[in-house]
Every structure is written in C-alpha cells, then in structure tokens.
Amino acid sequence: MSDQQSINGIVEEFKKAGWLFAVLGGLGMLARLILTEEKYHAIRWTRMVIAGAIVGVLSYFALYNADIDPFYKSVLCSISGSLAPEMFDWVRKKFLQKASN
C-alpha cells in the first residue's frame, strides 16, 4: 500500500466516524465552560469550543492505529478537548521560548 492510499484510507475513515471526535472534543470543552464559575464572553466560549474540536481531531489521528476500545478513545478525546486551552498555551510558550533563544 502506497502512502497516498494510506492517507486516502485515513481520510475516508475520518469522514465516516472521525468527525465525531471533533464533536466530542468540543463538547468536552463546552462541559468545562458550563461547570466553571468564571464569566466569559460568547466569542471566548466559541474560540475555546473550537480549540477543543481541533484537539479532538488531533487526538483522533494520534489514536488512529491504537489498539484500544473505541469507548476509551472517545473518553480520551473528550478529556483532551477539555484541556485544549492549556495545551495551546503550552505549545505557544514552547514556540516562544525557542524563538527567543
């Protein structure tokens, strides 16, 4: 199997069920926002939920070939989505550290 066929296979599987991981990541972040006492504006909520969805997609591709139960994959995706702001802040700080050195 060539790399192009492998990529096409992954894309087709993402179209079938992988998009659910984006939804789960976004819902994980939304649940976190609902449970917090902090006041956020609607645009910030939207940005954070989108960040959760992006991390959900990234975790889908990271767990794509992992031999674990799909239930656990979905739980990991939701948890990673709820931690999206911290993940993005950590990555941003690492890039800024590298740029300043």
Residue 70 burial (CB count, 10 A): 10
For residue 1, is pLDDT > 70? no
Residue 47, H or E segment: helix 42-62
CB 54 within 8 A of CB 90: no
CB 76 within 8 A of CB 63: yes
- Report the pLDDT value the prediction gives residue 19, as an integer from 0 to 100: 78
**This prediction's pTM:** 0.72
Average pLDDT, the chain: 83
Query: How far is the CA of 86 from the CAs of 20, 89, 92, in angstroms?
Result: 22, 5, 10
